[in-house]
Structure 1
Amino acid sequence: MDYQTLMLKLALITALISAASCAYTADDYVRPKPRQVLHFPWPSHHSSEPQQVHVSLAGENHMRVSWITDDSFAPSIVEYGTSPGQYTSRAQGESTSYSYIFYSSGKIHHTVIGPLDHSTVYFYRCGGEGPEFHLRTPPAQLPVTFAVAGDLGQTGWTKSTLDHIDQCKYDIHLLPGDLSYADYIQRKWDTFGELVQPLASARAWMVTEGNHEKESIPFLKDGFQSYNARWKMPFEESGSTSNLYYSFEVAGVHVLMLGSYTDYDEYSDQYSWLKADLAKVDRERTPWLLALFHVPWYNSNTAHQGEGEGMMAAMEPLLHAAGVDIVLTGHVHAYERSTRVYNGKSDPCGAVHITIGDGGNNEGLARRYKNPQPEWSAFREASFGHGELRILNSTHAYWSWHRNDDDEPVRSDAVWITSLASSGCLREKAHESRKILMEP
């Protein structure tokens, strides 16, 4: 390929990327100036040394360990045990890799370990060499605590958010989309993996995709290639055919991880899967039902207005019929908590919707809200931070939101939430639930 042809191809790719990126910007919203992006002066790694280690749940009593090596011949094995340096078990996994224009990834390893005991610290080593890591498995029964932060990115605010979460005594991290903000620059996926490794290697990180994960280039690249290769979630274990939507259970909680950027209408695979998944939920065994996805349905910020309406029209009746207690979303770079709401207005049998896209991205905060404040909007503020959801028992949970500007123990917003399973709402909606969830 001659120089002129190469330059023309690069210009075309740049234009397509720019067009794809601009497609997600609301016409009436102007982003603040970007925050400073972190620099990563980490030393180079030995080719077989595990990098970007993170763990996730992978079905009952199992966890998936994921990491990357520069050495394409490094084995996908994990040795583990309950004492430092003493590995009594060994598991063999799988590996993949991908190319993206001029970038080639390292070898991406995914290995499922288990069965594991609950509430237990395991020490593990990836690939038969390198440093030892440790993880803690979640509890078998309530209480259980989730840390929640979306739209993380790689800025000084991200680091502050992660430092706050590190002080939180949590069992699982929930991330409702927009992880690395690589935005086509694949090396930023690597630096994000290094940034979150201290936390993500020690507790399960359960994630779903946002618009910044798509990275599609018309006619050249399909979407979500990097995300799907690096952040494999338990979609197969939950009967899904796509890494973009799945579910999992922990303690007494069933969690739906849905995709805002894949088909969701009533004829889609995601809709059919969701309907079947909800029909199997046993509220005696899992009295709490949560849902996560990227684009909020209830949003009084001027940013991204109306972008969730299509998914809401298709799926809100399903979530309401099933009695979803709490919906966690990102996308809008601010915090907002609703009352229990359904069909656009407060409803005691609806879900509490929480927008928490304030993890620390480089695009800045979304500071403009619509006035007057909608009657369903209970609290809203444009600050970076994270949330903590502590589900104490089958009836009560405590939600708190923590600003980065405050010390970790400071709760900037907090509320007790009573489960719908204990309120009588599920009995009242039993006929509606059977009709919506069971009928073809």
Structure 2
Amino acid sequence: MFLRSFSRSLMELKLIAAVAFLLLSATVAADYVRPQPRKTLHFPLSHNPSSHPQQVHISLAGDKHMRVTWVTGDKSSPSSVEYGTSPGRYSSVAQGESTSYSYIFYSSGKIHHTVIGPLEHSTVYFYRCGGQGPEFQLKTPPAQFPVTFAVAGDLGQTGWTKTTLDHIDQCNYDVHLLPGDLSYADYMQHRWDTFGELVQPLASARPWMVTEGNHEKEVIPFLKDGFESYNARWKMPFEESGSSSNLYYSFEVAGIHVIMLGSYTDYDEQSNQYRWLENDLSKVDRKKTPWLVVLFHVPWYNSNKAHQAEGDDMMAAMEPLLYAASVDLVLAGHVHAYERSKRINNGRFDPCGAVHITIGDGGNNEGLAHWYIDPQPEWSVFREASFGHGELKIVNSTHAFWSWHRNDDDEPIRSDQVWISSLVSSGCVAEKRHEQRKMLLAP
């Protein structure tokens, strides 16, 4: 009897152990196993003539215009761009400006900025910089929906950065949006040069619209103000949008108004940025531009333990402006992970609030932010610490499709996706305007 009971108990223990093992195996298999970090990229010395263009990238510069930026070692190289719609045949030429800067023992090359246009929409142009070197080609964004944006922040220069760029290159996108932390040069100015070379294949073909992050600061007390390298190399259309600073500006593509804000310049109600934002929002015609998208570096809604509450002051100052203007989508970086929220305002779900997305996972050398706050906040829909990129396709005036693509063993795996309805189509814009009128007319 004892042996029979013992045998039965032993069999039950084995069965329990087997079931536990299977459950554990299933759980482990269901979890995404993140690949190992990758090393910082190293670049061979260039043997091209010093008059040849390097680090070529383009950006939007007002209606139907594009800014071409490049660097030459030859200080006498002209800031001219020849361009046309046929290879090797340039029907137009534009003259631009140039700048340079010194940073301790480093001296930059000649940095050229030349605006070309007017350009036709959805058209391929061939161009040559300074009359020297290879021919490049670009495609202008469309005049109508659909429009696709590639989104990746906190890029850096690692093996994962290269993978992210390769995945973006597979996307049929019109404009790249980068919410801060570009090169991770971190005072080593030659790393700005290598970053320019790394992104040139993509950034010379589609406009890259960027805003600054903390790694662009590069302040040296009493010697160097912040953002000198960034401002010299990545000139954005701040003047074209009525801004007094390259750290915040706006632009439009088809029916989308995009605002790039600065997390590292003054943003309180007395600041130039706040006043500019008020003025810029007041000019947006939601009948012509039904979509309103905002980017900045430090996220306002973040359930990751990294960089907790760093965006609170900016949110307290500016979220009421964005909410009153019915901003559809807010994109941020800084946290090296991905997270998407519900529509939210003032910390709570609000059907007339913005969707907030953190996408600081481009591939930087600091690694991923693995730790999240538990339990997951009610407003947080999806979060994961993996490298990747996002794609935002504005399909029409009422619907957009967002997807996030994780870097999984060098393959872009769509891991999160959602359809987003514009606030214009939901009636939120009209409702808020009605409330504003009531407040103005109130005794």
- Aligned partner of 2:163 among 148, 160, 168: 160
| TM, length-normalised to structure 2 | 0.90
134-143 or 423-432, larger mean C-alpha shift: 423-432
SS of residue paired to 2:279: helix
240-249 or 420-429, larger mean C-alpha shift: 420-429
Assess if the C-alpha contact under 8 Å between 2:388 and 2:412 holds in 1. Answer: no
SS of residue paired to 2:276: helix
Q: What does residue 5 of structure 2 align with?
A: none
What displacement does 1:34 show? 6.9
Cα-to-partner distance string for 1:28-59 (whole Å, 9 max, x where unaligned): xxxxx974100112432211000000000000
Are positions 1:420 and 2:409 aligned together? no
Assess if the C-alpha contact under 8 Å between 1:168 and 1:408 holds in 2. Answer: no
Q: What does residue 253 of structure 2 align with?
A: 250
Are positions 1:322 and 2:332 aligned together? no
Aligned mates of 1:224, 1:435 — CA distance in 2: 43
Cα-to-partner distance string for 1:268-298 (whole Å, 9 max, x where unaligned): 0000000000000000000000000000000
Are positions 1:298 and 2:329 aligned together? no
SS of residue paired to 1:74: coil
Assess if the C-alpha contact under 8 Å between 1:153 and 1:178 holds in 2. Answer: yes
Are positions 1:241 and 2:281 aligned together? no
What amino acid sits opposite 1:403 in the alignment? R
Q: What does residue 215 of structure 1 align with?
A: 218
Cα-to-partner distance string for 1:98-157 (whole Å, 9 max, x where unaligned): 000000000000000000000000000000111000000000011100000000000000
Cα-to-partner distance string for 1:370-410 (whole Å, 9 max, x where unaligned): 00000000000000000000000000000000011167663
What displacement does 1:432 show? 4.9
- Aligned partner of 1:401 among 401, 404, 422: 404
Q: What does residue 391 of structure 1 align with?
A: 394
- Aligned partner of 2:71 among 47, 68, 71: 68
SS of residue paired to 2:71: strand
Aligned mates of 2:169, 2:397 — CA distance in 1: 27
423-432 or 181-190, larger mean C-alpha shift: 423-432
Give RMSD over aligned pairs.
1.6
Q: List aligned pairs for 1:186-197, cutoff 5 A.
A: 186-197=189-200
Are positions 1:275 and 2:281 aligned together? no
Assess if the C-alpha contact under 8 Å between 2:342 and 2:380 holds in 1. Answer: yes
CA 1:296–1:433 in 2, change beyond 3 Å: closer, same or farther?
Answer: farther
Q: What does residue 15 of structure 1 align with?
A: none
Cα-to-partner distance string for 1:61-116 (whole Å, 9 max, x where unaligned): 00000000001110000000000000000000000000000000000000000000
Q: What does residue 363 of structure 2 align with?
A: 360
Assess if the C-alpha contact under 8 Å between 2:167 and 2:412 holds in 1. Answer: no
- Aligned partner of 1:89 among 85, 92, 95: 92
Structure 2 gaps of 5+ residues are 1-35
What amino acid sits opposite 1:158 in the alignment? T
Q: Please list every run of at least 4 consecutive aligned residues from structure 1 whose deviation after the TM superposition is greater than 3 angstroms.
A: 406-410, 431-437
What displacement does 1:326 show? 0.3
Aligned mates of 1:337, 1:432 — CA distance in 2: 29
SS of residue paired to 1:219: coil
CA 1:257–1:422 in 2, change beyond 3 Å: closer, same or farther?
Answer: same
Aligned mates of 2:428, 2:127 — CA distance in 1: 44
Q: What does residue 227 of structure 1 align with?
A: 230
SS of residue paired to 2:413: coil
Cα-to-partner distance string for 1:325-377 (whole Å, 9 max, x where unaligned): 00000000000000000000111000000000000000000000000000000
Q: List aligned pairs for 1:336-351, cutoff 5 A.
A: 336-351=339-354
Are positions 1:53 and 2:56 aligned together? yes
Assess if the C-alpha contact under 8 Å between 1:51 and 1:68 holds in 2. Answer: yes
SS of residue paired to 2:50: coil
Are positions 1:131 and 2:137 aligned together? no
Aligned mates of 1:304, 1:433 — CA distance in 2: 35
Q: What does residue 184 of structure 1 align with?
A: 187
Assess if the C-alpha contact under 8 Å between 1:122 and 1:134 holds in 2. Answer: yes
Aligned mates of 1:85, 1:271 — CA distance in 2: 46
Q: What does residue 153 of structure 2 align with?
A: 150
CA 1:250–1:433 in 2, change beyond 3 Å: closer, same or farther?
Answer: farther
CA 1:352–1:89 in 2, change beyond 3 Å: closer, same or farther?
Answer: same
What displacement does 1:175 show? 0.1
Are positions 1:101 and 2:101 aligned together? no
SS of residue paired to 1:410: strand
Aligned mates of 1:387, 1:42 — CA distance in 2: 32
Assess if the C-alpha contact under 8 Å between 2:163 and 2:410 holds in 1. Answer: no
What amino acid sits opposite 2:368 in the alignment? L
Does 1 or 2 have the higher relative contact order (CA < 8 Å, sep 6+)? 1
Structure 1 gaps of 5+ residues are 1-32
What amino acid sits opposite 2:262 in the alignment? G
SS of residue paired to 2:277: helix
What displacement does 1:182 show? 0.1
What amino acid sits opposite 1:78 in the alignment? V
Assess if the C-alpha contact under 8 Å between 2:407 and 2:413 holds in 1. Answer: no
Q: What does residue 204 of structure 1 align with?
A: 207
Q: What does residue 378 of structure 1 align with?
A: 381
What displacement does 1:431 show? 4.2
Cα-to-partner distance string for 1:150-175 (whole Å, 9 max, x where unaligned): 00000000000000000000000000
SS of residue paired to 1:278: helix
Q: How many residues align?
A: 406
Assess if the C-alpha contact under 8 Å between 2:86 and 2:125 holds in 1. Answer: yes
Q: What does residue 24 of structure 2 align with?
A: none
What amino acid sits opposite 2:366 in the alignment? E
| TM, length-normalised to structure 1 | 0.90
Aligned mates of 1:436, 1:276 — CA distance in 2: 20
Assess if the C-alpha contact under 8 Å between 1:34 and 1:363 holds in 2. Answer: no
What amino acid sits opposite 1:228 in the alignment? N
What amino acid sits opposite 1:137 in the alignment? T
